[in-house]
């Protein structure tokens, strides 16, 4: 007897923000793959605290999680066996993953498909084409979709997936549309095998429900009279304006997640010098590459804490803490990173992750579409 819960094989898992959104939406995470062991350790730690079950086919990290090696014949056969075994207990098997993106990022290495990270996107697509899950999700930075030289590579990946029998749909999403207090654009590519959607061209007819889980379109959100800049004053009190959606602000999420009492509250880089510089940046001044100060009554810029990018607390003379960064990524209050993880790795895995509420919305969108195709299949089967 098969389960109604679709099963997920997760790649480039990081600390599991994308997985958590899928799991809490009704999917079953059965396989977890992350090459960087500290991220995998954090994934296991957070799942234990959240009391989530172990993935049936285990955690894969280090060399065995190298996606470029997974495309080798022996590894493909092994993965095919796992997918085949999984189909005994579920009707739908999906792959999800966001290959590392610095090679396509405007602020990153920009080496494109020739970079070490860029090659991982090609490897992920090859793995999909050789193992043929029923559906997949591919997440990456806007640069892969928008930058001309990278767009050619993106289109080549899509052609490869089409040739393998996938019907595709894509959208440039912004996490803020799903209730995340953050301006974060990402390209999402989703594909379904023809057999799953019965070749009814449901996607090309515009029936994929991209907008169903959107709480408010970004154009509307960005049109609100958001607070600009205020002179910085430590521990100042500033009432929230009535004319903005408070639930999309940094301060709302700091309070919602009780960040001052969160287990990761004390995990924060301590400045050895430059405290005067910390105090000189206005609240809400995020115009520069680094030393961006958040505004308490505005959403955050993209959570990106590597490459010397520093985000400052709105009304404290310090950087934001790990607890605060997790809140900006809309993680549940009981999501915790382990004490023995380095601060650098904590902030890196947070910045790399797909915001939880966006993950959850994407998962629900796929579930809704699968339900629609199932109902159409039943209707067609009953027609004379």
Active site residues: 101
| CA distance linking residue 147 with residue 152, whole number of Å | 9
Three-class SS state of 376: helix
Q: How many CA atoms lie within 13 A of 158 on its CB side?
A: 16
Q: Are 67 and 123 in contact (CB under 8 A)?
A: yes
| CA distance linking residue 294 with residue 301, whole number of Å | 8
Q: Are 291 and 312 in contact (CB under 8 A)?
A: yes
331 phi/psi in degrees, rounded to 5:
-70, 150
Q: Which helix (H) or strand (E) holds 366?
A: helix 356-382
- Whole-number Cα distances in Å, 113 to 11, 122, 221, 358: 18, 8, 34, 26
Q: Are 98 and 140 in contact (CB under 8 A)?
A: yes
Q: How many CA atoms lie within 13 A of 279 on its CB side?
A: 8
Query: Parallel, antiparallel, or unpaired: how do β-strands 292-293 and 185-193 relate?
Result: unpaired
Instruction: List, in order, residues 6 or more apart from 147 with CB less than 8 Å away.
Output: 104, 106
Three-class SS state of 225: coil
| Angle between helices 37-49 and 343-352 in degrees, nearest 10 | 80
Three-class SS state of 9: strand
The DSSP code for 36 is: S
> Measured on CA atoms in the order 94, 140, 75, 46, is the torsion positive or negative?
negative
| Angle between helices 148-163 and 116-131 in degrees, nearest 10 | 20
């Amino acid at each position: 007897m098969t389960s109604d819960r679709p099963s997920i094989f997760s790649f480039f898992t990081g600390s599991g923000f994308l997985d958590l959104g899928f799991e809490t939406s009704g999917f079953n995470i059965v396989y977890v793959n992350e090459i960087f062991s500290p991220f995998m350790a954090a994934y296991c730690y957070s799942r234990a605290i959240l009391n989530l079950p172990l993935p049936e086919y285990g955690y894969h990290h280090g060399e065995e999680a190298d996606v470029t090696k997974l495309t080798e014949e022996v590894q493909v056969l092994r993965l095919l066996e796992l997918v085949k075994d999984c189909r005994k207990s579920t009707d739908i098997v999906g792959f999800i993953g966001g290959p590392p993106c610095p090679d396509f990022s405007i602020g990153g290495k920009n080496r494109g498909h020739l970079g070490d990270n860029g090659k991982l996107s090609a490897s992920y697509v090859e793995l999909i084409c050789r193992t043929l899950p029923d559906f997949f999700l591919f997440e990456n930075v806007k640069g892969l979709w928008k930058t001309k030289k990278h767009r050619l590579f993106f289109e080549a990946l899509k052609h490869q997936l089409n040739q393998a029998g996938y019907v595709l749909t894509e959208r440039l999403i912004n996490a803020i549309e799903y209730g995340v207090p953050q301006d974060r654009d990402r390209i999402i590519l989703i594909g379904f095998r023809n057999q799953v959607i019965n070749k009814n061209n449901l996607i090309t007819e515009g029936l994929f429900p991209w907008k169903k889980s959107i709480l408010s379109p970004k154009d509307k959100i960005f049109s609100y009279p958001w607070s600009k800049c205020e002179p910085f004053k430590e521990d100042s009190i500033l009432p929230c304006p009535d004319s903005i959606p408070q639930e999309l602000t940094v301060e709302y999420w700091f309070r919602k997640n009780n960040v001052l009492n969160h287990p990761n509250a004390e995990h924060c880089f301590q400045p050895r010098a430059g405290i005067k510089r910390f105090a000189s940046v206005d609240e809400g001044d995020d115009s520069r590459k680094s030393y961006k100060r958040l505004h308490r009554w505005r959403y955050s810029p993209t959570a990106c804490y590597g490459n010397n990018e520093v985000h400052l607390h709105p009304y404290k003379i310090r950087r934001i803490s790990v607890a605060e960064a997790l809140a900006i990524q809309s993680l549940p209050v009981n999501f915790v990173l382990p004490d023995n993880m380095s601060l650098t790795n904590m902030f890196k895995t947070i910045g790399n992750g797909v915001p939880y509420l966006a993950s959850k919305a994407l998962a629900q969108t796929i579930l809704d579409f699968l339900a629609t195709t199932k109902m159409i299949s039943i209707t067609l089967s009953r027609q004379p």
